[in-house]
Homo-oligomer: A and B are copies of this chain.
Amino acid sequence: MINGAVLIGSSERRTEATFYAVDPSNGAQLPTAFPEAGAAEAAAACALAAAAFPQFSTLEPEARARFLETVADAILAIGDDLIVSAMTESGLPRPRLESERVRTVNQLRLFAEVVRQGDWLDATIDPALPERTPAPRVDLRRMNVALGPVVVFGASNLPLAFSVAGVDTASAFAAGCPVIVKGHPAHPGTGELVARAIQGAVAACGLPEGVFSFLPGTTNELGHALVADPHVRAVGFTGSRTGGLALMRVAEQRPEPIPVYAEMSSINPVVMLPAALAARAEALGKAFVQSLTLGAGQFCTNPGLVVALSSPDLDRFVVAATAALSETQPAVMLTPGIHASFERGVDALARHPAVVKLAGARVGEGVNQACGAIFQTDAAAFLADPTLSHEVFGSASIVVRCQSAAELEAVIDGLEGQLTATLQFDEADQATAGQLLPALQRKAGRLLANGWPTGVEVTHAMVHGGPFPATSDGRSTSVGSLAMMRFLRPVCYQDLPDPLLPPALQAANPWRLVRRLDGTREQA
C-alpha cells in the first residue's frame, strides 16, 4: 500500500508540506502526495530508535537472523506492485529491477547467515592469570557490540538494493543497530512499500517498534536533523560528493562526532596495456561500451576513464567503442535532475579546448534520455586540469592517451580515490601489470583483471569502498558481509562475574561461537 506516510516505528504520520514523485520516462508528476518529514519526525524516530536499541542490539544471533529473513520474505510478498512502482519512479526496465530485487533479498539472507555464524562478534578471551608475577593478570574478555541507531540515506540509482532495505540497512540490522531511513525523493512510493514490509517484519518478530522508521522528504533540513540527532551513532549514505561532504560536516560538528560512511564519487579507471589492445582492441571497445551504458551509466562503478599508451591499437579500440556507442539505444535516466546534470557534464567536456568528443549515442526521442558520450584527451591536458577527472554521473567516459609509460604512471598517481581500478592485459603485459598494481591499489578498493567494474557481487570477499572521495572512509565496504563491521565497536569486560557477561563471552559459550583464547582460536 502506497498512501504517502511517514512511518515512525509502528505508527504513521502525515505532514502539511507534501511532494510528488515524477515518472522520468515522460516527465509527468505521479498522483500520490508524499509527506515532507522534518525535524519533528526526525526527533521522534531517533528517540524511538534509541529506546529500541538495548533490546535489539542484544538479541541472540538466531533471532536477529530470523528478522533479516522475515524482512526478505516480506519484500518478496509485496509482489509485482514493487516492480511496477520502481519502474514508474525510476525509469529502469523490469528485468533490471527484478534482478535487483533478487540481490536485495539475497543480501538480507547473506547477513542472516553471517549473523548466525557469529565471527562478527570477534569473541576474545584472555583468562585471569592469578599466579603471574610480579602481578596477577585480571580476566579480560572482548567482543563487538552495536554502535547505536543508524541513519541511512538511500541511493537514487538502486531503488531496491541501495535504498530502504538495501546494503546499509541490512548491514546495520545485522550489527544490531536500529535504522532510520531518510527516503529518497525520487522513489518515495517504492520506498514506502519496502518500509511497510520492514515495519511488518518488526511486528511479526515481536521486536520493539523503534527498530525501524521511514522518513520521506526532499529537504536538506531533514538530512541535517537526522545526522545531528544526539541519539544517532552512525550514518550510511550513497549519493553525490556534495551531499556526502555536507553530511560529513554535520557529523563532524556535532558535540559528539559520529562516523559517516558516505559512498560518493568514482570514475573507475580502466588501464589498457599494449598486448591486450593489440590482441583484442575491437572486443575491448565493445565490452567497454556495454559496461559504460549499463543502466544508462548510472552505476557507482561505471568506467568513466580509460588510460592507455597512444598507438594504432588504441585507435582501433576507439573506433570500435565509437561504433558500439552509436548503436546503443538511448535510455531514460533516473530523474530529470540527474539527466540535466549529465547533460551539463557532457556539454562541459565537449566544449573543453583540450578534449575531443569521439562519439555520442543516438539522441533519444523521449524526455530525460541519456545520449552516452566518449571523449578523448592527452595525458598532459588531463594532468593539467583536475576537472577532467570529476565524475559525470551517467554514460560518459574519457580516453586519456599517454605518450610514455611515465605519463601513464603519472595519470594513475594523480587520480583521486576510486571504488575500482581495472587492468586490461595479456600474458605479454603481465610484468607491466604487476608494476602498476601497487599504485592502483593505493587508489582503489577493488582491483580487476580483464573485467569491467560494473557488476558488484554480494559476497564475503567483496569490497565496495575505497579511498576518499570514492568513500568518506576507505577502511570500509558498503557491499558484502564485511559491511556490517562498520556498525560495531569493541568492548572489553574485566573480571565480570559470568552471569553479568554477554552470552558470547560466558564460560558455557551458549552461542557455540568459535572464540579466541589467549590469542588462539578454539572450536566451540
Contact = CB atoms under 8 A, between A and B. Distances in A.
Nearest to A135: B455
Contacts of A481: 519
Interface string A21-59: 000000000000000000000000000000000100010
A186 B468 CA distance: 35
Contacts of A256: 416-417, 467-469
Interface stretch (A63-71, A317-325, A402-410, A433-441): A433-441
Interface stretch (A138-146, A269-277, A337-345): A138-146
Contact of A445 (B147, B467, B491): B491
A441 B495 CA distance: 15
A474 interface: yes
A142 B441 contact: no
A496 B58 CA distance: 40
Contacts of A114: 519
A449 B495 contact: yes
A463 interface: yes
Contact of A437 (B126, B437, B465, B500): B500
A460 interface: yes
A125 interface: yes
Interface stretch (A78-86, A305-313, A348-356, A482-490): A482-490
Contacts of A135: 455
A219 interface: no
A450 interface: yes
A477 B490 contact: yes
A433 B463 contact: no
B142 A482 contact: yes
B433 A500 contact: yes
Contacts of A441: 145, 491
A232 to B, nearest CB: 13
A430 interface: yes
A130 interface: no
Interface string A467-483: 11100111111000110
B489 A459 contact: no
A448 interface: yes
Contact of A142 (B148, B460, B469, B499): B460
Contact of A117 (B417, B459, B519): B519
Given A257-B468, A257-B472, A467-B256, A490 B445 contact: yes
Contacts of A451: 138, 494-495
Interface in A132-182: 134-135, 137-138, 140-142, 145, 147-148
Nearest to A505: B461
Given A256-B468, A430-B497, A492-B446, A54 B462 contact: no
A405 to B, nearest CB: 17
Contact of A462 (B468, B492, B495): B492
Contacts of A447: 491-494, 496
A259 B491 contact: no
A124 interface: yes
A488 B414 CA distance: 22
A134 B142 CA distance: 43
Given A438-B54, A442-B148, A492 B142 contact: no
A73 interface: no
A457 interface: yes
A471 to B, nearest CB: 10
A362 interface: no
Contacts of A442: 148
Nearest to A517: B460
Interface in A338-395: none
Given A446-B491, A481-B519, A126 B497 contact: no
A113 interface: yes
Contacts of A459: 126, 137, 140, 518
Nearest to A141: B461
Given A461-B492, A475-B489, 8 more contacts: A125-B461, A434-B500, A437-B500, A447-B491, A447-B496, A449-B494, A449-B495, A481-B519
* CB-CB nearest 3 A-B residue pairs: A463-B492, A142-B461, A140-B461
30 contacts: A58-B438, A99-B134, A119-B521, A124-B461, A125-B461, A126-B460, A126-B462, A137-B457, A140-B457, A140-B459, A142-B462, A248-B257, A256-B416, A256-B417, A257-B472, A259-B473, A259-B475, A430-B500, A433-B500, A444-B491, A445-B489, A445-B490, A449-B500, A451-B494, A451-B495, A460-B516, A467-B489, A475-B488, A477-B490, A482-B490
